[in-house]
Each structure stands twice: as structure tokens, then as C-alpha cells.
């Protein structure tokens, strides 16, 4: 009798799970190739996301696009047509995310990008309706830097950025912010991620005598111009972008990056945030989970973008479940609507309030100015 | 631009040019002896530098496992081949070099804690780990197809490059490293500071070039390599083993690559994929030398280094464009001045 009951229970469980298909989330990260330092922590973070939401199991299908735009598009198509995912998280970098916009728009599948450029979500159109973005807009960060410079009495500034989409994007937004804050840009240079020497650019910058230098690069490669500037005896203030906010940058830069200023997501200095800041609790929780799984000091701000993307999705799923079953078009449309209706959602990087025209939804609470002091990130009070 | 800036740029260009010169020599060497366009040359730069950085950070570098693994595969393949041919006398030698040597190196790395060693010892250990990979890669990837066309060899070379870059990411992670300098000294020469490490790079490059010159001109192995480069079949008829020549050229290429990496690691941050671009610039230099002439390749490398340095001052956004565009007039000039020989397929 007991055995029969058990069997019946098993059959009914099986039937129930067949009726309610699992929610499938496709995740596309750049875990290899030039953007691997972004993709790897993001991929690690996916493993920490909850496996069930509102009693519904979530399958994460994680693919690596190798930082390659063509592969990102192919993988997105594969996730949509073969795996029939309900939503897509990714990709890690701007060129890939931009290329994916049209694909997800045509398939009416919501996508949350973990790349920074504002172009991914603006200007709003039929395809971008389906696209959301968790990292701060570059313009938000550029404004913070320019405002900080002008407050510190800086009048002239030189720019050196990656000779790729990241550097060009920053050059655009920063030259605008600089003009708004009455800063004069006296020199603009480019360098490559794989350059072994930037002496030429640095000498040109020094001969222009700027009060401050902004280095617009991501990860450890942006330490090179700063080290070279100090080697050639530059004494002014140096600013970096939030692209360098990981501990490897401190390791590679060593004493040469002391005193550097940069804007960053609050998660970078989670422990130093005032207790009144609602972001502190969420950010600390993420840091604790990540370091528990991958070791002390392993956390980076990039992984926190994946955490925010995942939690935004988890927040929207219960609402969408009321409108349709996973795997259907109604469910995906409801998920998109629920994401767009996100209000005052506290993430590790900021507070999201989405609107039909703003699919990022962050404000100035999503940035803090940080200084490198004694080889550590220090929050500006 | 004033004199001081020109001198600083010149110093920078010469330092980079010296490294490109070493790599272009290795590329010319490998190409003339085996007809392989050795794209993975750059990976040895990264592996050498990152293995040393791993020792200094107190970590066990992943290249150790690569050496053990590749050694085991080579031993297996060689033993099977030897058993089939019946030349059993050769087996102990195969096992010694492909199993015992990597195991001994592994024992040193794991037990002796090289983090506390003086720098020269760390450098030697890093070379001991990385350099044997050269002949092992030749044995596995190129020896079985040694008679194939240049195109097939090139495609295999690209495959080896991709495999090694992937392994590099797995072993060393996406972030870069720097190593401590050979020398922190710095001299004031007129208005500019000359760094000790720069002198090390230049000195070591000149030393290696002279050593290679003597090796090719005076030693029997060097002469055997030259003979193979000039006429493969003829050299074989004279009793020179082309397998030995191939392995030796890969050994030298790996040595030059890994040592170049160790030389520049204190000057710049090295990533798992840095080597490719450095190798490519060495390749541009080797092309200037027509992939055949050592002095022309070395001179070409200095031109590439200086051009790179000065163009990064004048037009940093177009630096790579300028360097790689250099190859076009060189190719045009080469195709106009030399008659083209169609390779037999």
C-alpha cells in the first residue's frame, strides 16, 4: 500500500512538472577572449543565483561567446530557436550586446545586457523595447569624473583611452561632460590593450602640461599608461574609469596607482558605505556569497552586474507567471512588461526604476567616487 | 618634439625593437629549417613571462601540467612507433626526456618553493619548464606532416596557436602580471634617464644574436641546421636527421621566445594573449628580411620598434595601422626585385 502511494505521488509530481515547464534563461558571457576578465566573474555569479523562484525551477543555460560578435549572434539565435529560452542575460560587452538587440527584438524575447554603453538601450525603438541593461551608463560615470575634477580646481585635462569601442565611447561622453564643467581637454591619445609600451603617448601628454589625466580603459591594461606617466615624472592627478575596478588592477599597478580617483558602483566599497544606504545590505550579501564560493578577495564589480541582472529577472518572474506559462510568447511579453515596471529595486550596483523610455533606470545613487589609498579602494566621504 | 622626447622615444623603440629582433630571428630560423610559419612563437613569450610571474607570486604555474601532459603524450607516441620499428634501444632515452625530465622539474617546482629563490634561479627554472615544450610540440604537431606543403603547415601552426592561447587563459587567467626587474638601477645620461632593465634587454638581445651567429657558423649542429635550411633532401643524403633539425630549431625558437618574455615582463604587463601581437610584429620584421635573411630581419625589427614608438607619439590612434602598413611597400619592393619561384605542391 505504502509503495503504491509513493508511486502515485511520484506520478503526480512528474505530471505536475510536465504541466509547468521550467523557466529557461539563456546566459551569454564573454568568458574567453579579450573580455574574459568581465565574463569569468559573471559566469561564476550565475552559479550563485537562486535555482527556484515562486516555486518554479529555473534552468540557466550558460554559453561563452568568446568576446566575438558573430558568435554572440549565433549563440543568441541558438538559445532562442533550439533551447526556447524565456529570457536572455548578456552579453558582457557592448559590441556583442548591440548585435544581439535585433535578434531578441525579432524573437520577442526579453534581454538584460551586462555591457555598459547607453546605445544598447537608446534611442528606444521596436527592438530595444525588449532590451534592458544593468551597468551604469558611461555618461553617469563621466559626469561624476568631470564634476569631481572641477570641484578639485582642475582646469586642463588630457585623455588617453583604448583604441576600441570602449575608448571611443568614453571619449564622446567625457568630452561632453568636460565642456559642461568648463574643463579644457589639451590632448587626446589612444592605446591598445596589448601594447607593451605607451611611452610615446605619455610623453605627448606630459608636454601638454595637463592638471589631470583620464585613462579610459578596462581591467589591468589601463595600469600601463598610469605606470608610464609616473615613470616619466608626471605629478598631476590621474583618473581612471570604473572599468578598472577589480583587485587585479591594484596588484599590477602597485605603488604607481596610489592616489588614483575613479567612479565605481557602490558594491566596490560595500563595507564602507554608510548604514543608511539601502544598497549596502544587498551589495554586502553578494560579496559574502561570492567570496564564500570563490575565495576571499576574489569578488569584482563585473560579477555584481550579473547578480543584478539575475535578481531583476527573479523579481519579474512571479508577476509574469500570473499572465502565462513559461515557454510561451505571453510569458515572455509579461516578463518584459514586469521588467519595465520595476520600481525602486535595490541591486548591488544601484537602485533601478525602469520606465518605457529608460531601460537602465539608475540614478546618481549608482555611483561613488573612490580613491586608491595604500593599495585599497577608499570611498570618498 | 624636442631632443629629450626624441631620445626617450628612441630608447623605447630600441628596447621593443630588440625583442622583435629576437622573435624575428626565431621565426626565420624555424621557417628556413622546417618551412613552418611559427605563429605560436608569441605564446612562448607569454608562457615564459607568466611562468616566472607565477613563481614570484608563490603559485604553481599551469605550464608545469602542460609539460607533464605533453611529455606523457610524446612518450606514448614515440614508444608505440619505436615498438613497431623494433628499435628498442631508443626507449630509455625517450622515457628519460619525456617522462623523467618533466617529473624531475615538477618535483623541483612543487617541493623546493621557488618563491624564495634568487631571480636568476627562478629564470632558469621558468626556462626549464617552458623551453622543452618547443620540441614536444614539433614532435606532436609538425613531425608527422613534415613533408606537407607550406599552407598545410601554416594551418596546423594556426591550430597550435589557438590551442596554446586557450590553455594560457586556463592556466594564467584573464588578468596580466608583471615580474620584478632584473635591475632597478637607472643612470642619468644627459637629460634622460636610462633604465637598467632597458640595458638588460639590449645586452641580452645582442648576446643572443652573437651566440646564434657563433652557433650557426662554428658548431656542427648549427651547420646541420643551415644545411637543412638550404637543401632538405641534400642534407638528408649527407646523414643529417631532419627530425633532429626540426626539434632543434623549435627548441631554439622556444628558448628565444620564453627568454624574450622574461626580459620584457618587468617593463610591461603580460597577458595570456600578449604574445600574439609581439610575435606578429616580429613577423613583420621577418618579412622585411624575406623570411630568409637574419641581419635583414634584425634591422627590420629595429625599424618596426622605432616606427612604433614614434608613431605612438604622433598619431597614437593609428599606431598599429602604421606598423602593419609598413609590410605593403616591403612586399611590393620584394616582389619587384626578386623572381618568384612557384613551390612544388
Neighbours of B173 (CB within 10 A): 17
List the A376-379 sheet strands across, edge first. A184-191, A156-162, A212-216, A237-240, A261-264, A368-373, A376-379
Average pLDDT over residues A125-142: 93
| Percent of chain B clearing pLDDT 90 (strictly above) | 47
pLDDT score of A166? 82
Closest CA to A242 of A225, A264, A259: A264
Mutate to test the interface with B, among A197, A198, A219, A295 (most CBs of B within 10 A): A197
B302-329 pLDDT tens trace: 999 999 999 988 888 888 888 888 888 8
pLDDT reported for residue B116: 86
Residues B115-163: tens digit of each pLDDT: 888 999 999 999 999 999 999 999 999 999 988 999 999 999 999 999 9
Per DSSP, what are the bridge partners of residue A149?
none
**CA nearest to A35 within chain B:** B174
Contacts of A357 (CB under 8 A, 6+ apart): A124
Residue A158, CA distances (Å) to A6, A180, A230, A237, A303 in order = 73, 16, 15, 11, 30
The shortest C-alpha distance from B145 to chain A (Å) reads 30
Distance CA B147, CA B280 (A): 25
Q: How many CB pairs under 8 A join A and B?
A: 99
What value, to the nearest 5°, has the Cα angle with vertex B15 and ends B278 and B296? 70
Reported as a pLDDT band with limits 50, 70 and 90, residue A9 is: low
Look up cell 621565426; give the residue: B27
B268:A32 CB<8 A:
no
Residue A38 pLDDT: 87
The strand pairing partners of A53, in sequence order, are A56
A215-244 core/surface letters (b: 16 or more CB in 10 A; e: else): bbbbbbbbbbbbbbbbebebebbbbbbbbb
Answer yes or no: do A232 and B16 touch at CB < 8 A. Answer: no
Cα-Cα-Cα-Cα dihedral sign, residues B49, B54, B57, B58: negative
- Kindly list the structural domains of chain B, giving each domain's residue range(s) and its CATH number in brackets, ordered by start: 3-56+132-337 (1.10.3470)
Please report the pLDDT score of residue A202 as a whole number: 92
Residue B141 forms contact with A (CB below 8 Å): no
More confident of the two residues B181 and A74: A74
Predicted pLDDT at B315: 87
Work out the mean pLDDT of chain B and round it to a whole number.
Answer: 89
Q: Which domains does chain A have, with CATH numbers?
A: 2-136+299-340 (3.40.50.2300), 138-264 (3.40.50.2300)
Residue A253 touches partner B, C-beta closer than 8 Å? no
User: Looking at the complex, does the CB of residue A223 fall below 8 Å from at least one CB of chain B?
Assistant: yes
CA dihedral sign, ordered A117, A122, A123, A127: positive
How far apart CA A306 and CA A64 sit, in angstroms, is 14
Q: Which among A34, A207, A221 is the nearest to B5, CB-wise?
A: A207
Read off the pLDDT of each residue in A67-96 and give the average, rounded to a whole number.
93
Q: How many whole angstroms separate alpha carbon B287 and alpha carbon B265?
A: 26
Contact between residue B216 and residue B222 where contact means Cβ atoms under 8 Å apart: yes
- The C-alpha atoms of residue A273 and residue A86 are separated, in whole angstroms, by 36
Q: Which of B308, B342, B55, B324 is nearest to B180 (CA)?
A: B55
- Cross-sheet strand order for the sheet of A87-90: A52-53, A56-64, A23-29, A87-90, A111-113, A131-133
The closest alpha carbon to B8, from B194, B287, B188, belongs to B194
Residue A46 confidence class, pLDDT cut points 50, 70, 90 = very high
Of B125, B114, B111, B161, the closest CA to residue B258 belongs to B125
Cell numbers of B211, please?
Answer: 651566440
Cβ distance A32 to A64 under 8 Å?
Answer: yes
State residue A61's pLDDT score: 95
- Closest approach of chain A CAs to the CA of B323, in angstroms? 13
Do A252 and B175 count as a contact with CB atoms less than 8 A apart? Answer: yes
Q: What separation in angstroms does the CA of A219 have from each of A36, A39, A181, B111?
A: 10, 12, 27, 34
For position A15, what pLDDT does the model report? 46
Most A-contacting residue of B15, B267, B269 (CB-CB within 10 A), to test interface: B269
Give the number of other CB atoms < 10 A from CB of residue B188.
Answer: 8
Listed residue (B143, B149, B158, B137) closest to B63, CA to CA: B137
Name A315's Cβ contacts closer than 8 Å, sequence gap at least 6.
A338, A342, A345
Residue B340 has pLDDT above 80, yes or no: no
A306-336 per-position pLDDT tens digit = 999 999 999 999 999 999 899 899 999 999 9
Q: Which of B16, B169, B316 is opposite residue A191, by nearest beta carbon?
A: B316
Contacts of residue A91, defined as CB under 8 A and 6 or more positions apart, other chains included, come to A28, A29, A30, A65, A72, A97, A100, A113, A114, A115
pLDDT, mean over chain A: 90
CA angle A314, A320, A321 (to 5 degrees): 95
With a cut of 70, say whether residue A10 has pLDDT above it. no
> Distance between CA atoms of A356 and A342, rounded to whole angstroms?
10
Q: Using the Cα atoms of residue A324, residue A329, residue A331 and residue A335 in order, give the sign of their dihedral.
A: negative
Confidence of residue A150 (pLDDT cuts 50, 70, 90): very high
Q: What is the DSSP letter of B175?
A: S
DSSP summary character for residue B195 = E
Q: What is the pLDDT of residues B38-90, one digit of tens each?
A: 999 999 999 999 999 999 988 889 999 999 999 999 999 999 998 888 778 88
Percent of chain A residues past pLDDT 90, beyond the cut: 71
Which of A36, A200, A254 should be substituted to probe chain B, the one whose Cβ sees the most B Cβ atoms within 10 Å? A200
Full 3-state SS string of chain A: CHHHHHHHHHHHHHHHHHHCCCEEEEEEECCCCCCHHHHHHHHHHHCCCCCEECCEEEEEEEEECCCCHHHHHHHHHHHHHCCCCCEEEECCCHHHHHHHHHHHHHHCCCEEECCCCHHHCCCCCCCHHHEEECCCCHHHHHHHHHHHHHHCCCCEEEEEEECCHHHHHHHHHHHHHHHHCCCEEEEEEEECCCCCCCHHHHHHHHHCCCCEEEEECCCHHHHHHHHHHHHCCCCCEEEECHHHCCHHHHHHHHHHHCCCEEEECHHHHHHHCCCCCCHHHHHHHHHHHHHHHHCCCCCCHHHHHHHHHHHHHHHHHHHHHCCCCCCCHHHHHHHHHHHHCCCCEECCCCEECCCCCCCCCCCHHHCEEEEEECCEEEECC
Would you call A199 an interface residue with chain B, using a CB distance cutoff of 8 Å?
A: yes
pLDDT of residue A248: 84
Among candidates B19, B269, B311 on the partner chain, residue whose Cβ is nearest the Cβ of A223: B269
Question: CA-CA distance, B300 to B286, in Å (whole number)?
Answer: 7
Looking at the complex, does the CB of residue B274 fall below 8 Å from at least one CB of chain A? yes
Lowest mean pLDDT among A212-221, A267-276, B116-125, B171-180: B171-180
Length of chain A measured in residues: 381
Question: Are A200 and B309 within 8 A, CB to CB?
Answer: yes
Instruction: Provide, as residue numbers in chain B, all residues whose Cβ is less than 8 Å from the Cβ of A198.
Output: 312
Of B256, B223, B228, nearest in space to B242 by CA? B228
- The reported pLDDT for the residue numbered B344 is 46
Beta bridge partners of A215: A160, A240
Of A221, A222, A285, A290, nearest to A42 by C-alpha is: A290
A90: left (phi over 0), alpha (psi -120 to 50) or beta: left
* B-chain residues near A40 (CB < 8 A): 173-174
Q: pLDDT for A182-220, tens place per residue?
A: 999 999 999 988 888 898 999 999 999 999 999 998 888
Residue of A nearest to B306 (CA): A200
In the predicted model, what is the mean pLDDT of residues A244-262?
89
Angle at B109 between CA B105 and CA B114, to 5 degrees: 130
Answer whether A190 sits within 8 Å of B173, measured CB to CB: no
CA atoms lying within 13 Å on the CB side of residue B313 = 22
Region A92-101: what's the mean pLDDT?
91
Mean pLDDT of the region A298-305: 91
Record: contact A203-B273, CB cut-off 8 A: no
B82/B87 Cα distance (integer angstroms): 6
**If contacts are CB pairs under 8 Å, which of residues 11-50 in chain A contact chain B?**
32, 34, 36-37, 39-40
Phi first, then psi, for residue A61 (nearest 5°) are -105, 105
Q: Which residues of B touch A224 (CB under 8 A)?
A: 268-269
Cα-based angle A294, A299, A305 (whole degrees, multiple of 5): 115
Find which of B54, B173, B175, B191 to mutate to test the A interface (most A CBs within 10 Å of its CB): B175
On whether ipTM exceeds 0.85, the answer is: no
CA distance A26 to chain B (A): 23
- B269 closest CB neighbour out of A37, A189, A252: A252
- The answer to whether B309 contacts A198, with C-beta atoms less than 8 Å apart, is no
Amino acid at each position: 500500500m505504502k509503495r503504491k502511494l509513493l508511486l502515485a505521488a511520484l506520478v503526480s509530481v512528474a505530471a505536475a512538472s510536465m504541466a509547468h515547464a521550467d523557466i529557461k534563461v539563456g546566459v551569454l558571457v564573454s568568458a574567453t577572449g579579450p573580455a574574459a576578465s568581465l565574463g569569468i566573474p559573471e559566469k561564476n555569479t550565475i552559479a550563485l543565483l537562486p535555482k527556484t523562484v515562486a516555486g518554479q525551477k529555473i534552468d540557466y543555460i550558460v554559453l561563452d561567446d568568446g568576446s566575438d560578435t558573430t558568435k554572440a549572434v549565433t549563440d543568441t539565435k541558438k538559445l532562442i530557436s533550439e533551447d526556447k529560452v524565456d529570457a536572455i542575460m548578456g552579453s558582457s560587452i557592448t559590441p556583442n550586446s548591440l548585435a544581439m538587440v535585433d535578434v531578441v527584438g525579432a524573437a520577442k524575447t526579453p534581454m538584460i545586457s551586462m555591457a555598459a554603453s547607453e546605445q544598447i538601450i537608446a534611442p528606444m525603438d521596436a527592438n530595444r523595447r525588449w532590451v534592458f541593461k544593468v551597468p551604469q551608463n558611461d555618461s553617469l560615470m563621466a559626469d561624476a569624473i568631470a564634476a569631481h575634477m572641477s570641484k578639485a580646481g582642475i582646469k586642463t585635462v588630457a585623455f588617453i583611452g583604448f583604441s576600441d569601442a570602449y575608448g571611443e565611447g568614453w571619449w564622446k561622453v567625457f568630452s561632453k561632460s568636460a565642456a559642461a564643467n568648463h574643463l579644457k581637454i589639451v590632448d587626446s591619445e589612444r592605446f591598445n590593450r596589448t601594447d607593451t609600451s605607451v611611452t610615446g603617448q605619455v610623453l605627448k601628454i606630459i608636454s601638454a602640461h595637463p592638471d589631470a589625466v583620464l585613462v579610459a580603459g578596462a581591467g589591468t591594461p589601463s595600469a600601463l599608461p598610469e605606470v608610464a606617466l609616473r615613470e616619466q615624472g608626471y605629478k598631476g592627478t590621474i583618473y581612471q574609469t570604473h572599468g578598472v575596478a577589480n583587485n587585479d588592477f591594484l596588484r599590477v599597478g602597485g605603488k604607481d596607482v596610489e592616489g588614483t580617483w575613479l567612479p565605481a558602483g557602490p558594491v566596490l566599497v560595500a563595507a564602507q558605505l554608510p548604514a543608511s544606504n539601502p544598497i549596502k545590505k544587498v551589495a554586502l550579501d553578494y560579496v559574502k556569497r561570492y567570496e564564500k564560493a570563490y575565495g576571499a578577495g576574489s569578488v569584482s564589480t563585473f560579477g555584481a552586474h550579473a547578480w543584478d541582472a539575475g535578481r531583476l529577472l527573479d523579481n519579474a518572474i512571479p508577476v509574469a507567471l500570473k499572465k502565462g506559462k513559461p515557454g510561451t510568447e505571453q510569458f515572455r511579453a509579461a516578463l518584459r512588461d514586469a521588467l519595465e515596471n520595476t520600481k525602486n529595486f535595490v541591486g548591488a550596483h544601484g537602485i533601478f526604476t525602469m520606465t518605457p523610455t529608460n531601460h537602465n533606470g539608475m540614478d546618481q545613487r549608482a555611483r561613488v567616487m573612490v580613491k586608491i589609498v595604500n593599495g585599497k579602494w577608499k570611498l570618498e566621504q | 618634439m624636442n631632443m629629450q622626447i626624441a631620445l626617450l622615444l628612441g630608447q623605447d623603440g630600441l628596447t621593443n625593437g630588440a625583442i622583435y629582433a629576437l622573435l624575428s630571428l626565431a621565426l626565420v630560423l624555424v621557417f628556413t629549417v622546417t618551412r613552418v610559419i611559427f605563429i605560436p612563437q608569441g605564446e612562448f613569450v607569454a608562457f615564459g613571462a607568466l611562468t616566472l610571474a607565477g613563481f614570484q607570486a608563490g603559485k604553481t604555474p599551469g605550464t608545469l601540467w602542460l609539460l607533464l601532459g605533453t611529455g606523457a603524450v610524446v612518450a606514448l607516441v614515440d614508444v608505440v612507433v619505436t615498438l613497431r620499428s623494433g628499435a628498442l634501444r631508443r626507449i630509455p632515452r625517450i622515457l628519460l626526456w619525456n617522462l623523467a625530465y618533466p617529473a624531475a622539474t615538477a618535483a623541483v617546482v612543487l617541493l623546493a618553493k621557488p618563491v624564495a629563490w634568487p631571480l636568476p634561479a627562478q629564470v632558469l627554472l621558468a626556462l626549464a619548464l617552458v623551453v622543452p615544450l618547443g620540441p614536444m610540440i614539433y614532435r606532436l604537431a609538425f613531425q608527422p606532416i613534415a613533408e606537407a606543403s607550406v599552407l598545410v603547415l601554416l594551418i596546423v601552426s594556426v591550430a597550435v596557436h589557438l590551442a596554446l592561447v586557450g590553455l594560457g587563459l586556463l592556466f594564467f587567467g584573464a588578468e596580466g602580471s608583471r615580474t620584478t626587474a632584473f635591475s632597478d638601477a637607472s643612470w642619468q645620461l644627459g637629460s634622460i634617464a636610462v633604465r637598467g632593465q632597458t640595458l638588460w634587454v639590449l645586452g641580452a638581445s645582442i648576446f643572443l644574436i652573437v651566440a646564434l651567429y657563433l652557433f650557426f657558423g662554428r658548431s656542427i649542429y648549427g651547420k646541420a641546421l643551415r644545411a637543412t635550411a638550404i637543401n632538405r633532401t641534400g642534407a638528408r643524403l649527407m646523414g643529417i636527421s631532419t627530425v633532429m633539425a626540426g626539434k632543434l630549431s623549435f627548441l631554439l625558437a622556444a628558448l628565444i621566445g620564453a627568454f624574450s618574455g622574461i626580459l620584457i615582463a618587468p617593463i610591461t604587463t603580460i597577458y595570456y594573449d600578449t604574445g600574439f601581437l609581439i610575435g606578429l610584429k616580429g613577423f613583420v620584421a621577418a618579412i622585411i628580411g624575406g623570411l630568409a635573411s637574419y641581419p635583414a630581419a634584425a634591422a627590420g625589427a629595429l625599424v618596426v620598434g622605432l616606427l612604433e614608438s614614434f608613431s605612438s607619439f604622433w598619431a597614437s590612434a593609428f599606431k598599429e595601422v602604421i606598423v602593419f602598413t609598413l609590410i605593403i611597400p616591403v612586399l611590393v619592393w620584394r616582389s619587384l626585385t626578386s623572381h618568384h619561384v612557384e613551390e612544388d605542391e
